[in-house]
Amino acid sequence: MIKLYNTSSRKKENLQPVKEGKIGIYACGPTVYDYFHIGNARVFLVFDVLRRYLQYRGYKVTFVQNFTDIDDKMIKRADELKISVEELAGRYIRAYQEDAEALGILPADYHPRATHHIPQIIALIEKLMENNLAYELEGDIYFHVPSFPSYGKLSHQNLEELSLGARVEIDERKRHPMDFALWKKEKPGEPSWESPWGRGRPGWHIECSAMSMAYLGETLDIHGGGQDLIFPHHENEIAQSEGATKRLFARHWLHVGYLNIEEEKMSKSLGNVLTVRELIKEIDPMVLRFFMLSAHYRSPINFSREQLMQAGKALERLNTLLYKLRERLERVAEGVPVQEEQELLNFLTASRKRFLEVMDDDFNTAEGTAVLFELARKTNVYLDRFPEQKRNVLQPILDFYNEVNNIFGFLQKGFEPVSALEKEIEELINTREKARREKNWALADAIREQLKERNILLEDTPHGVRWKIVDGEK
RNA sequence: GGCGACAUAGCCAAGUGGUAAGGCAGAGGACUGCAAAUCCUUUACCCCCGGUUCGAAUCCGGGUGUCGCCUCCA
């Protein structure tokens, strides 16, 4: 049984889908007014892996992640760039797709855009009006928070507490200070749509309610995003959705912890926002992916170059093993496993079981990666020390890594196709091998040094020379 | 002021009642022409003080500290 922590109950709960065998997930996606930053990336990555894992566990998953393509930020940015909001959205949706792909994030089943769902949004607001939960005010529509009694159940605060802490400027026209906009009256020069209340545009929370229910039905199995969305965004979504349907909106609320940079919150004002686009110019995106998954999704993580370097080394250790496995498999035969080999195979079975256990328990990717390292050590021992290795021992191990990699996605997939560069390297290696046979160490070392400067590392093994590209200092 | 989270080795990070996973870094060793890779060994009074328990990093109470939310934010 899979357990997930639910922000709403503050407990781990069994994952029990609304419909047997199916899971509907909605994740709050980016506002497409800029490149996404590494904090966003963490959320996308967590949901990507969650979705893959649930599929691996046999669920039919429908995963929806929206693009917010109309709001204050969009309008402001479009204005700055002197382009239309539509153009801005197109530009950064493409950027999202490129950066997400670099990080190995698979496209969601649906990436709905707010501006493409205006009718659904309007219908939802109409329903709220009917239910007496919303009111019109000079062309704006507000959700009346006091009329939704359980408001605050997600963030565990009541209305009084929230109002007390409110530092927001109070709009005296509103019936209650916490009332929030569902629909905003048109302003000159801003995008707007026809509605029963005149031209205008949706408020910030309503799109997620409308689109999630449009694709996944009235009750979602899993809904989430970054921790900072708990209040007010998700609280408001609950109010809107449950206010309209009178049904539970989401069974599991999953919130991803913050990513800080050098111990500080990432924010525009501190000027420390790091976009994925910038970062992957310097470092392997797979290292970033590994780094994010090596902590539990609910823990805050601190990003630093130092941490990333450590992650890079760790990941390299696994990739080295995979390389060795693939290489060795090219020349070993099957055979009856002896006791030590049987023990290794038993350990593999235990590893797979352990992997499922820790992942089932609130999606513990940190423990999951530890399983890979433990198996790596045992396999390395076998690879280095055991005289006659067997295909039927090595292949299942490689299969396991590939299987896990379908979920985690940070390991190297296999041998790269031979390129011109590789041919050149092979020739240099041959020259060096000849020198080594002649005990011409000076020449041999010179060639190794020369390649090293090009970030190509040679390793002499009993079975010949192996080379790999390393990151080096960039 | 209200609500909440976290505090585990030099660094990062699992572990929610039976005396501490994993990674990085360091030290020593094996292997190697030298390296690299790999393996072995080695590094923890689990923030403090009480309590519950045969037994607590793990539960309860009280401190201290860090961070977050209450305003746009992933």
pLDDT, tens digit (0-9, with 9 covering 90-100), for A221-261: 999 999 989 989 999 999 999 999 999 999 999 999 989 88
Residue A64 CA and nucleotide B53 C1' are separated, in Å, by: 48
Could you tell me which CATH number the domain at A3-130+206-256 has?
3.40.50.620
- Residue pair A454/A445 in contact by the 8 Å Cβ criterion: no
Confidence band for A33, pLDDT divided at 50, 70 and 90: very high
Please give the pLDDT value at position A474: 34
Query: Would you say residue A386 has pLDDT above 70?
Result: yes
Residue A209 CA and nucleotide B56 C1' are separated, in Å, by: 44
How many residues are there in chain A?
474
What DSSP line would sit under A248-262, residue for residue?
--EEEEEEEPPEEET
Query: Would you say residue A202 has pLDDT above 80?
Result: yes
**CA A86/CA A19 separation, integer angstroms:** 37
Same fold, A3-130+206-256 and A305-408: no
Could you tell me which CATH number the domain at A305-408 has?
1.20.120.640
Domain residue ranges of chain A, discontinuous segments joined by + = 3-130+206-256, 305-408, 420-469
When pLDDT is averaged across residues A380-386 and rounded to a whole number, the result is 90
Query: Would you say residue A464 has pLDDT above 70?
Result: yes
When pLDDT is averaged across residues A19-28 and rounded to a whole number, the result is 96
The CA-atom distances, in angstroms, between A113 and each of A28, A67, A245 are 11, 5, 22
How many percent of chain A have pLDDT more than 70?
96
Please give the pLDDT value at position A99: 96
Nucleotide with minimal C1' distance from the CA of A452 is B36
Nucleotide with minimal C1' distance from the CA of A226 is B74
When pLDDT is averaged across residues A16-45 and rounded to a whole number, the result is 94
Please give the pLDDT value at position A416: 60
Q: Please tell me the pTM assigned to this model.
A: 0.93
Token pair 């506002």 is found at A31
When pLDDT is averaged across residues A278-300 and rounded to a whole number, the result is 92
Protein-proximal nucleotides of chain B (any atom < 7 Å from a CB)? 1-6, 11-16, 21-25, 32-40, 67-74
The CA-atom distances, in angstroms, between A401 and each of A57, A293, A313, A315, A345 are 16, 16, 18, 13, 14
Residue A282 CA and nucleotide B33 C1' are separated, in Å, by: 36
Residue A137 CA and nucleotide B47 C1' are separated, in Å, by: 53
Query: Would you say residue A169 has pLDDT above 70?
Result: no
- Residue pair A411/A290 in contact by the 8 Å Cβ criterion: no
Confidence band for A413, pLDDT divided at 50, 70 and 90: confident
Write down the mean pLDDT value for chain A.
Answer: 91
Nearest protein residue to the C1' atom of B72, measured from CA: A73
Q: Distance between the two ends of chain A, CA-based, in angstroms? A: 45
What DSSP line would sit under A263-298, residue for residue?
TEE--TTTT---BHHHHHHHS-HHHHHHHHHTS-TT
When pLDDT is averaged across residues A167-186 and rounded to a whole number, the result is 82
Nucleotide with minimal C1' distance from the CA of A371 is B22
Query: Would you say residue A472 has pLDDT above 50?
Result: no
- Residue pair A67/A105 in contact by the 8 Å Cβ criterion: no
Q: What are phi and psi of A461, to 5 degrees?
A: -125, 165
pLDDT, tens digit (0-9, with 9 covering 90-100), for A35-69: 999 999 999 999 999 999 999 999 999 999 999 99
Which tokens in the block code for residue A276?
């994925």
Confidence band for A166, pLDDT divided at 50, 70 and 90: low
Q: For residue A363, what is the DSSP state? A: -
Confidence band for A417, pLDDT divided at 50, 70 and 90: low
Nucleotide with minimal C1' distance from the CA of A373 is B22
Residue A305 CA and nucleotide B26 C1' are separated, in Å, by: 20
Confidence band for A351, pLDDT divided at 50, 70 and 90: very high
Nucleotide with minimal C1' distance from the CA of A295 is B13
Nucleotide with minimal C1' distance from the CA of A205 is B72
When pLDDT is averaged across residues A387-394 and rounded to a whole number, the result is 92
Residue A152 CA and nucleotide B48 C1' are separated, in Å, by: 35
pLDDT, tens digit (0-9, with 9 covering 90-100), for A421-456: 778 888 888 889 888 988 999 999 999 988 888 888
Q: Is A84 helix (H, G, I), strand (E, B) or coil?
A: coil
Residue A72 CA and nucleotide B72 C1' are separated, in Å, by: 9
Nearest protein residue to the C1' atom of B32, measured from CA: A460
Provide the ipTM: 0.93
Give the burial string for A321-336 (b: 16+ CB within 10 Å, else e): bbbbbeebeeeeeeee
Question: How many C-beta neighbours within 10 Å does residue A107 have?
Answer: 12
pLDDT, tens digit (0-9, with 9 covering 90-100), for A100-135: 999 999 999 999 999 999 999 999 999 999 999 999
Query: Would you say residue A340 has pLDDT above 60?
Result: yes
